[in-house]
Structure 1
Amino acid sequence: MNPLLHRLQPYPFERLRQLTRDIMPNPALRPISLGLGEPRHPTPALIEEALTSSLKGLSSYPATAGDPQLREAAAGWLQRRYGVAVDAATQVLPVNGSREALFSLAQSVIDPTRPGATVVCPNPFYQIYEGAALLSGAEVAFANSDPARNFAPDWSQIDGATWARTQLVYVCSPGNPTGAVMPLDEWRTLFELSDRHGFVIASDECYSEIYFRDEPPLGGLQAAKALGRDDFRRLVMLTSLSKRSNVPGMRSGFVAGDAEVMKQFLLYRTYHGSAMSPVVQSASIAAWNDEDHVVANRELYRTKFAQVTPVLQAVMDVALPDASFYLWAGVPAAFNGDDIAFARGLLAQYNVAVLPGSLLARSAHGSNPGAGRVRLALVAEVAECLEAAQRIASYVKSL
């Protein structure tokens, strides 16, 4: 067996199951989960119709590069959303969800024969980043989130020697779990470091279409264009329909950016066997070409957060994020920063499941930046999320 598999850590949800296996939740209350970030709004009818009307595509082997129409749809969306122009033939690849691409990109980018091969990622983070790095033979360096900057990662924590060994940097903007959006100045800093040390930047932007302010979140390609980097050198952005269009089970997204990186990534994926089903491609074309359902979806989240956030703010340290569908809440002082104890007590007494922040992070630079916080995924309907918030408020008041 591959010895690198032993370096992987259990997924946060598996760790939480182990930490709560002795708990019998309050049977008087129906269970409500704010733990899993799985979109639960209805899938738009236009996507379902496109999916079912293209079943004849099942009789054909798909090309790894995808249907030209799908690549054009993705390029058209990038132009409309970010004002950036990409060559659909050489700078866009469809992928089976951003998770698959985040993992496989590292396998095609990392050269493990170079001493000290390193991947830098934010902390807390989406655990695929760490797993992808370790299974590519690299080490992981973490940039802790900074509470003073709405929990955006502090890239200055990475020293010069580490940057010199870095081959790949994962950026998550809007961030999971914090919802922080990286501003242009920080993109400039990363681009300058990339020019100096030659590493690739992978910008995970799967939450980009769920935001609460008038100005949509800045994207990586958009930042590059603003800074005169129209070739998108050493930059790849990854996005998905899962959150934008409420189709997590469809497993559809795309990757776009540096043509040379994309060429090598396509070569890897051709052997990896990751071509997208023609049926899913047809539905994806319909999704990327329609914006009305995205606007409606965003309004559902805005309504939900507008009702839920004040209830929680009355009892916890929590604020509306820049974007995404998470609240990153501080546990009450009575717990002395023990987010796991808070989650266990809430589950036992009020039958509400939340994800402890310490399970989403690693100890680095002298601390675990997720400790003392919990991630609340507001993915259910408004009434259910509001009931969960009211139970959490009752729990905190009972302490």
Structure 2
Amino acid sequence: MSRSRLDSLGEFPFRRLAGLLADKVPSPAGPVLDLGIGEPQHAVPPILAENVARHAASWNRYPPPTGTPSFRRTVARWLARRNALSETVLDPDRHVLPVAGTKEALYLAAQLAVDRAGRSRPAVLMPTPFYAVYYGAASMAGAEPVLLPASAASGFLPDLDAIGPEVLARTAAFYLCSPANPQGAVADRAYLAKAIGLARRHGFALFLDECYSELWDKEPPPGGLDVAHHDTGSLDQVLVFQSLSKRSNAAGLRSGFVAGDPALVQAFAKLRAYAAATQPIPLMEAAEALWNDEAHVEENRRLYRQKFDVAEQRLSGRFGFFRPAAGFFLWLDVGDGVAATARLWTEAGLKVLPGAYLDGPAPISAPYVRLALVHDLGTIADALDRFVATLAPDDRPAGRS
């Protein structure tokens, strides 16, 4: 009996992690600290709850599948500000579609692209390591996930020149995450323009996952719509995915949007009408308030910079440490990520994620672990001290116990 597409998928990374640690007892030396999952722990902006309460009378209304006109206008204006676009470039009714968090949108996107492409042996490109939803989405859409190594040698982004013509000829979609999860690498304007050019020449959809774009260190990363409009002259073949989960510490709100090529947005709206949840109006009102406020985002960036300062002090010169350009992850070379994960759990009470769990069947990230710097500064400092004491006990700076 042949295996189903679902059966052919491996376990989701966090289920694999749970299995790895299931029979292991965490160290009792201190509180267990979870650095494995990228769940923001900064304070939720008060305007979220305030706006949900203010619009409580709307809980009895079915939310419109394409969102409220006000939400779409708010997103279009935010995109115009963020991408230095004239407000006339983006039509809220043609270029913007709300989604119930980008996880489901990224998953459905592969179904949309593979169906529209109509290619035999369709391929869906993605970096490796990757957000597991890309791989699952491609597989369940009946496409071949084609993994493009994003290693230190290529600046932690896929080498676009290494994609063969045979693969490009059957590509239906390309998932590209910038800033990258887990490495925090940022695609510059030239890189994005090249990716857009490939999408148009070969007729595939470019899905730009920009969910970490607002958590930058020194300067804001270029946006896909900025490059598409200013550097290539149109939004054709490009969809950008954005969320409030990381930007606004609102993962539980399940609010995001897709924006870009109006033909893709229209097709996506049709698909979602059959297959996806719509966001309740009180939550959409709260999301509007968050997109209209930048003060809490600036505070987020300040807090993450402080934690990267501490990480740089503790880890500089060890474990291949580099300070990422954006995001909130550390990507550390510990030799054997799975073994180090088990050891950190049993000896230090730290939960991290093995890099190999973010790869496909042929992992290139086995030496790495991913740490999410989502907790408060004191907790992160404690965690990093435990990390070093466990994996490099004889390599601590002088004067630090």
Task: Give the TM-score range, shorter chain.
Answer: over 0.9
**Distance verdict in 2 for CA 1:113–1:256, change over 3 Å:** closer
Aligned to 1:205: 210
Matched, 1:287 2:290: yes
**1:105 partnered with 2:109:** yes
The alpha-carbon deviation at position 182 of structure 1 amounts to 0.7
Separation in 2, partners of 1:341, 1:123: 21
Distance 1:359 1:156 in 2: 26
CA-CA distance at 1:274 after TM superposition: 2.2
Q: 1:239 aligns with which of 232, 238, 242?
A: 242
Distance, in Å, in 2 between the alignment partners of 1:179 and 1:289 is 25
What runs of 5+ residues in structure 1 fail to find an aligned partner? 332-336
Specify the code of the residue in structure 2 equivalent to 1:102: L
Q: What corresponds to 2:397 in structure 1?
A: none
> What residue number does 2:257 align with?
254
Aligned to 2:398: none
Structure 2 match to 1:303: 306
Shift of 1:78: 0.6
Per the alignment, in what secondary structure is the counterpart of residue 152 of structure 1?
A: coil
- Which amino acid letter does the alignment assign opposite residue 76 of structure 1? R
Is the CA contact (8 Å cut-off) linking 1:312 and 1:392 kept in structure 2? no
Corresponding pairs, count: 389
Deviations 1:301-350 (Å, cap 9, x if unpaired)?
Answer: 1111111232022532111101000011111xxxxx31101111111111
Residue 334 of structure 1 aligns with which residue?
none
Aligned counterpart for 2:386 among listed residues 388, 391, 398? 391
Alignment partner, residue 44 of structure 1:
45
TM-score normalised according to structure 2 size: 0.94
Equivalent-residue separation in structure 1 for 2:176 and 2:233 (angstroms): 18
Letter in 1 for 2:393: S
Q: CA–CA distance in 1 between the matches of 2:328 and 2:40?
A: 9
Identity across matched positions, percent = 38
Provide the secondary structure at the position in 1 that maps to 2:232.
Answer: coil
Structure 1 residues 185-215: Cα deviation after superposition (integer angstroms, max 9, x where no partner): 22222122112210000000000010111x2
- Which residue number in structure 2 is paired with residue 8 of structure 1? 9
Report deviation, 1:64.
0.6
**Contact preservation (8 Å) 1:146, 1:154:** no
Q: Cα gap change, 1:363/1:8 in structure 2, threshold over 3 Å: closer, same or farther?
A: closer
How far apart are 1:45 and its partner, in Å? Answer: 0.6
Report the equivalent of 1:29.
Answer: 30
Work out which of the residue numbers 374, 378, 386 in structure 2 matches 1:379. 374
Question: Corresponding residue for 2:189?
Answer: 184
Whole-angstrom distance in 1 between the partners of 2:347 and 2:323: 26
User: Is the 2:174–2:206 contact (alpha carbons within 8 Å) kept by the matching residues of 1?
Assistant: yes
Q: Could you tell me which amino acid in structure 2 is paired with residue 62 of structure 1?
A: P
Check if 1:148 corresponds to 2:146.
no
Does residue 340 in structure 1 map to residue 338 in structure 2?
yes
| Structure 1 counterpart SS, 2:44 | coil
**1:219-246 deviation per Cα after TM superposition (whole angstroms, max 9, x unaligned):** 111111231323x000000000010001
Shift of 1:356: 0.6
Secondary structure of the residue aligned to 2:150 is strand
Which SS does the other structure have where 2:332 is aligned?
A: strand
Offset of residue 22 of structure 1: 2.1
AA paired with 1:177? P
Mapping 1:28-107, distance limit 5 Å: 28-84=29-85, 85-107=89-111
- Contact kept, 8 Å, 2:340 with 2:391, in 1: the verdict is no
RMSD, matched Cα: 1.6
Q: Please give the alpha-carbon distance, in whole angstroms, between the structure 2 residues aligned to 1:58 and 1:346.
A: 45
Checking the alignment, whether the CA contact within 8 Å between 1:141 and 1:158 is kept in structure 2 is no
Measure, in 2, the Cα distance between the counterparts of 1:225 and 1:141: 28
Q: How far, CA to CA, are the matches of 2:40 and 2:32 in structure 1?
A: 18
Whole-angstrom distance in 2 between the partners of 1:134 and 1:268: 18
- The answer (yes or no) to whether the contact 2:119–2:172 under 8 Å persists in 1 is no
Correspondence for 2:233: 229
SS of alignment partner, residue 110 of structure 1: helix
For 1:149 and 1:320, how far apart are their aligned partners in 2? 16
1:51 Cα deviation from its structure 2 partner: 1.3
> Does structure 1 retain, via aligned residues, the 8 Å contact 2:127–2:148?
yes
* Deviation, structure 1 residue 113: 5.4
TM-score (norm 1): 0.94
* Counterparts of 2:57 and 2:84, CA distance in 1: 35
Q: Which amino acid aligns with 2:281?
A: P
